[in-house]
Chain A
Amino acid sequence: MTDAVIEFKSVNKWFGKMHVLRDITLAVEAGEVVVVCGPSGSGKSTLIRCVNALEPVQGGELVVLGESLTRPGVSLSALRTRVGMVFQSFNLFPHMTVLENIMLAPVKVRGLSGADALRTARALLERVRIPDKAEYYPANLSGGQQQRVAIARALAMQPKIMLFDEPTSALDPEMINEVLDVMTDLAKDGMTMMVVTHEMGFARRVAHRVVFMDAGQVVEEAPPEQFFAAARSERAREFLSKILTH
């Protein structure tokens, strides 16, 4: 565990009285793709939202890229430039074109020149396979295209880690694969990824490890082949039987 880039050490979190993360201990290494799954309300989204400090944790320690987020005085903005995030609801800025969406943070946060940011943005649009949509507004794109732009936007900051919070849950079935393909490419390029998803096919093919959560706890972690063939915990087997029957 020497080159862990994300380390949860006995992390606890509450929403009011609700104990949403219970004593989480988990490490993710550089280049690793970890799929987090579990029933609704199990805390999996909360877990990855802690990694870029969208949610503060209340107990234990969380170290991301060598910085302890639980220590006071840590610069959240600086951390977030190194951790990209893709949301379920895309969250492109509706008043900006695709290019403007992608260029915003590189120009405003990194201080890149417009020309450099533009070159990067166009290259990223090639990478997510929609170079022809550069001048479109988000509303004029399909869900799958919007999500790919959102991935490009996150990549524009050249993050070391990418977080995906149910990136395909809001998509029509025929668009899911175009997003998963882009994520698969990213994984092949060696990106460290934490992915909350119900796409078990993706987990099987791409993940190095599956983390199963229930009721705020990490119940089980295992390589996908082992997890899907023979999950150790009853809860994981029950979960899998529910989502794999159709």
Chain B
Amino acid sequence: MRYEFRWEVLWSGQSGAWLLQGLLTTLAISSLAWLLAAGLGILSGALRTVPWKPLRAVATFYVEFFRNVPLLVWMFFWYFGVPPLLPQVAREWLFDHGAEFWAGMFALGVYHGARMSEVIRSGIQSIPKTQFEAAVAMGLTTFQAYRLVIVPIALRLIVPPATSESLNLLKNSSVALTISVAELTFQTRQIETYTARAIEALTAGTVVYLALCVGIATIMARVERRFAIPGLIARGG
């Protein structure tokens, strides 16, 4: 049997517009979720190292709770489970404004925030304790010491694993198709359904994901070099 490739299905009809829309949705949901994940990750990762037990406990609970439930379950939870708990006004607003997008974004953000948290914690824990002592010995409060010294150093140390985690987040945004967010994978499947051209459609999706991820990795490598701490072995590749 000989398969005849028909790449033109990707730009004939609505395919092109669908792909573009999927790409934009993937970028939107991923970047918002990334911001949420970074915020939660830095906060909880830092809290897990502070010298005050109740705060550590809260952060540990967040991490263990959110990273130990499958992402798919979180998607369902935030889409099907949470809205009925909201006040009616909020619920109606949500369903008028793409509830699946926000639920998907939230699920992605809190799940990856928990994973990011561990990356950041390991960064903080690789800094000698005496750096913190030097910071507070000058009169900085614990909060200032973290904000001005500890977290900035940790963030510079964790660029490589944080990059991997960010790429995972981007790729995991495809799970949002299960709650019908029209992101890239969703649109790829749609093209496949309409044209019955699986290889062409999936190849298109694959190439776009690949290009996105390689692009991000390249940018992050630059960030790593730009912010490298002088005197460490680390050199961005």
User: Is residue B131 within 8 Å, beta carbon to beta carbon, of the partner chain?
Assistant: yes
Known A-B contacts A137-B231, A139-B230, A139-B231; A54 and B133 likewise in contact (beta carbons under 8 Å) = yes
User: Is residue B223 within 8 Å, beta carbon to beta carbon, of the partner chain?
Assistant: no
A-B pairs under 8 A by CB, number: 78
0/1 interface trace, chain A 22-52, chain B, CB 8 Å (1 if under): 0000000000000000000000000000001
The stretch that binds A, out of B113-121, B138-146, B188-196, is B138-146
Q: How far is the CB of A179 from chain B (nearest CB, A)?
A: 16
0/1 interface trace, chain B 100-143, chain A, CB 8 Å (1 if under): 00000000000000000000000000001011011111111100
Are A95 and B139 interface neighbours, CB within 8 A? no
> Which chain A residue has the least Cβ–Cβ distance from B135?
A93
- Inter-chain contacts of B138 with A (CB < 8 A): 80-81, 84, 104-105, 109, 153-154, 157
User: Is residue B152 within 8 Å, beta carbon to beta carbon, of the partner chain?
Assistant: yes
- Measured between alpha carbons, how far is A80 from B231 in the docked complex, in Å? 29
Partner of A54, one of B128, B131, B137, B141: B137
0/1 interface trace, chain A 87-99, chain B, CB 8 Å (1 if under): 1010111110000
- Measured between alpha carbons, how far is A157 from B135 in the docked complex, in Å? 12
Q: How far is the CB of B128 from chain A (nearest CB, A)?
A: 7
Q: How far is the CB of A150 from chain B (nearest CB, A)?
A: 8
- Inter-chain contacts of B134 with A (CB < 8 A): 85, 87, 91-93, 150
**How many residues on chain B are close to A (CB under 8 Å)?**
23
User: Is residue B90 within 8 Å, beta carbon to beta carbon, of the partner chain?
Assistant: no
Among A81, A84, A108, A157, residue most surrounded by chain B Cβ atoms (within 10 Å): A108
Among B139, B229, B230, residue most surrounded by chain A Cβ atoms (within 10 Å): B139
Are B230 and A80 interface neighbours, CB within 8 A? no
User: Is residue B220 within 8 Å, beta carbon to beta carbon, of the partner chain?
Assistant: no
Are B231 and A94 interface neighbours, CB within 8 A? yes
User: Is residue B232 within 8 Å, beta carbon to beta carbon, of the partner chain?
Assistant: yes
Are B140 and A137 interface neighbours, CB within 8 A? no
- Inter-chain contacts of A84 with B (CB < 8 A): 137-138
Q: Which of A31-84 contact B (CB under 8 A)?
A: 52, 54, 76-78, 80-81, 83-84
User: Is residue A138 within 8 Å, beta carbon to beta carbon, of the partner chain?
Assistant: yes
Are B231 and A81 interface neighbours, CB within 8 A? no
- Measured between alpha carbons, how far is A150 from B131 in the docked complex, in Å? 12
- Measured between alpha carbons, how far is A219 from B135 in the docked complex, in Å? 33
User: Is residue A113 within 8 Å, beta carbon to beta carbon, of the partner chain?
Assistant: no
**How many residues on chain A are close to B (CB under 8 Å)?**
29
Are A95 and B153 interface neighbours, CB within 8 A? yes
Are A137 and B230 interface neighbours, CB within 8 A? yes
Q: How far is the CB of A126 from chain B (nearest CB, A)?
A: 20
- Measured between alpha carbons, how far is A81 from B138 in the docked complex, in Å? 6
Known A-B contacts A93-B149, A95-B229; A78 and B133 likewise in contact (beta carbons under 8 Å) = no
Partner of A108, one of B130, B131, B136, B140: B140
Known A-B contacts A137-B230, A154-B138; A95 and B130 likewise in contact (beta carbons under 8 Å) = no
User: Is residue A10 within 8 Å, beta carbon to beta carbon, of the partner chain?
Assistant: no
- Inter-chain contacts of B82 with A (CB < 8 A): none
Q: How far is the CB of B140 from chain A (nearest CB, A)?
A: 6
- Measured between alpha carbons, how far is A168 from B216 in the docked complex, in Å? 45
User: Is residue B86 within 8 Å, beta carbon to beta carbon, of the partner chain?
Assistant: no
- Inter-chain contacts of B152 with A (CB < 8 A): 95
Are B148 and A94 interface neighbours, CB within 8 A? no
Are B141 and A77 interface neighbours, CB within 8 A? yes
- Inter-chain contacts of B141 with A (CB < 8 A): 77
- Measured between alpha carbons, how far is A140 from B137 in the docked complex, in Å? 24
- Inter-chain contacts of B153 with A (CB < 8 A): 93-95
- Measured between alpha carbons, how far is A91 from B153 in the docked complex, in Å? 13
> Which chain A residue has the least Cβ–Cβ distance from B144?
A108
Known A-B contacts A94-B229, A95-B229, A139-B231; A89 and B130 likewise in contact (beta carbons under 8 Å) = yes
User: Is residue B156 within 8 Å, beta carbon to beta carbon, of the partner chain?
Assistant: yes
- Inter-chain contacts of A76 with B (CB < 8 A): 136
> Which chain A residue has the least Cβ–Cβ distance from B127?
A94
Q: How far is the CB of B236 from chain A (nearest CB, A)?
A: 15
> Which chain A residue has the least Cβ–Cβ distance from B150?
A93
Return 7 A-B CB contacts under 8 Å, by A number.
A77-B141, A78-B139, A93-B135, A93-B153, A104-B138, A139-B231, A154-B138
Going nearest first, the 5 A-B pairs with the smallest beta carbon separation are: A139-B231, A81-B139, A91-B134, A105-B138, A137-B230
